[in-house]
Structure 1
Amino acid sequence: MGGDTGTGKRSRLSARPPSWAGGATPERPGLLPGLHAGPPGRSDIQPGDRPHRLPPREISLRSPPGRAHYAHPWTVTPLNDTDIRRPERRLSAEILIMNADQRILLMEPTDRPGLRLPGGYVRPGEQVADGAARELVEQTGMRRVITHHLGVDQIPANPSTGAVEGFTVVCDGGEASRLEMKLLAERGVPVGTFRAFSGHRWAGLEELHELVAPYMLTRIRVSVGILESGLRQPLLFIGQPAAERRDA
């Protein structure tokens, strides 16, 4: 600890202990037993720090890999990647489907007010295109090959409800045929999702402000604008467009 750092410089801690340390070193115990320096050329404990300011419990500084954290008030140990908890996030897919009259398909959930686009969570390991197609057939009976998206909406975490941060991919579901609309009207919501949705509705853009939440209104308007501008983007999986994966 007291040697050369390889750069011709000595660490401040090994060269001269701070005055308040009472000359404490691992070789000569003093007021601060167990005091260790960080990597060569750097000291993690700087003069001016006070021992009573560190609580006597394990403290993780959440430093980047290769830095250090305190397992004991004055013991510096390596920080592994496993020590950093990765934040939880959810991934959802929603599908924009319009009919020949430019009316949008909306679902009526049973657990919250307001209508929303059909869709739901993408399962771990599931591709967004597959998750969107699965949710659509589960909720409406409509079958689609999803290949393009119209934008990604980031939703922050909500500590009051416990909801984690999420990302919603709005997918292009194309145009509904008259037969699909007829079957949906006759059959209603599939039995497997009747607890989550009580029904559906076709609505025009001018009606949305009375039917959906503000964030959903903006999401739909932006997605429709992207669709009408011809700016939709392919869904990629490891760099491969979903359409090419389907054709392979």
Structure 2
Amino acid sequence: MKVIVAVKRVLDYNVKIRVKADHSDVDLSNVKMAMNPFCEIAVEEAVRLKEKGVASEIVAVSVGPKAAQEQLRTALALGADRAIHIDTSAETEAPVESLAAAKVLARVVEQERPGLTILGKQAIDSDNNQVGQMLAALAGLPQGTFASEVKISGDEGEGKVQVTREIDGGLQTVELSLPAIVTTDLRLNEPRYAKLPDIMKAKKKPLDIKTPADLGVDIAGRVKLLKVEPPAERQAGIKVGSVDELLDQLKNHANVL
């Protein structure tokens, strides 16, 4: 069974985000970029499926600028067999919107015909949590979102995937017919680190480069970013000497009682 994994290039989660002086966007100059953590979980799950003999091939896909090939090489080092980069550099310098990314991925799914497509449930830069659901709708495939456990049974033609989802009331298990779309949650697995020999081998693995135009997809932006503001700084707290003083502060100053 072929498995497609979508990966996204984002700011490293350890980087402190800065807003540009003109408040037009987030400042990305001279900052470390990395694979989206939820995408790392998706790659790890695909590799584990291959180690179990369920998956026969893993294809990593990324939609973004030329620099996104770095994250694709990371996915190859972690265990993906080949990669596809949808290079958006010639068409836009802005981040690709969720719907455009879903349309591109839908065309890739149509061409590659995987048994399973795995995505991170959201990216830590935009936090939209949209692409997986939009992809399922555009491709006409069943979806299991926020997966904390994935079990596959049967062969590719008549196979099923059981997805345990984390919901407000606890856990919910849904059974989907393959092919299907799955988005990963934090507790699905613990991603491995790429070993140096695997990083060297990844340089020789195939990486195909295409453009949205090659797939017949228009990625023009439809949302206008007006302004970006950093969060307000937290004010310093105060110490109180007694319960009565605490109640007085909560009632007369914080206005929460």
TM-score grouping bracket, smaller chain normalisation: under 0.3
TM-score, normalised via structure 2 length: 0.21
Between Structure 1 and Structure 2, whose CA radius of gyration is higher? Answer: 1
* Higher RCO, 1 vs 2 (CA within 8 Å, ≥6 residues apart): 2
